């Protein structure tokens, strides 16, 4: 989950740019089985975006996280990131 800095318009714009970049990753990163991105539409909530990335193993979490296309996508949100919450787990 990501909480972004800025006014509502800026947060929405950045969340949408980030979501678009994230949704393109399964075609670029072979270990990434699927990606789901949700942008908050409830102004009463504090978090702006949530993503679920499915990979085959914990080792592939590192492969995904360090892949140049993921790093490029993350650079979109980096200047606006107020907070990030992450849970990596095995199914």
For the entire predicted model, the pTM comes to 0.93
CA dist 16 and 9 (Å) reads: 11
pLDDT digits (tens, 9 = 90+) for 42-84: 999 999 999 999 999 999 999 999 999 999 999 999 999 999 9
Give how far Cα 69 sits from Cα of 1, 10, 29, 47, 82, Å.
19, 23, 8, 24, 22
């Amino acid at each position: 989950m990501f909480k972004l800095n800025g006014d509502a318009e800026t947060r929405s714009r950045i969340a949408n740019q980030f979501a678009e970049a994230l949704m393109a990753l399964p075609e670029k990163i072979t270990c990434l089985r699927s990606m789901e991105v949700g942008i908050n539409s409830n102004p009463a909530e504090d978090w702006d975006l949530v993503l679920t990335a499915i990979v085959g193993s914990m080792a592939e979490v590192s492969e995904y996280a360090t892949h140049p296309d993921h790093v490029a996508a993350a650079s979109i949100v980096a200047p606006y990131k107020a907070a990030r919450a992450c849970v990596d787990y095995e199914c």
